[in-house]
Structure 1
Amino acid sequence: AKPVNKDRFISKMFLRGDSVILVLRNPLATASGK
């Protein structure tokens, strides 16, 4: 097993989760930002 790949996968999931939370919390802010 490669720890690097595992870290990347976890980081991707974490970042994705954060983005989802931000969108759910501030949908208008994210919509206007993009």
Structure 2
Amino acid sequence: MVRNTSFYWYCKNPPSYLQNNIRRTISIYFHYLY
């Protein structure tokens, strides 16, 4: 429950560094996928 709330809060208000990290991870993931 607490973890879900924290996860939801991070999805709603992601820190900029976390956002950049997720974007980089997704780009790397798609690079390997295709």
Normalising by structure 2, we get a TM-score of 0.58
Q: Which has the higher contact order (CA 8 A, sep 6+)?
A: 1
Any stretches of 5+ residues in structure 1 without a counterpart? 1-5, 27-34
**Percent of pairs with identical residues:** 10
**Runs (4+) off by over 3 Å:** none
Aligned residues: 21
Q: Which runs of 5+ in 2 are unaligned?
A: 1-13
Q: Deviations over 1:1-34 (max 9, x none)?
A: xxxxx700000000000000000000xxxxxxxx
TM-score, structure 1 normalization: 0.58
- Looking at CA atoms only, which structure, 1 or 2, has the larger radius of gyration? 1
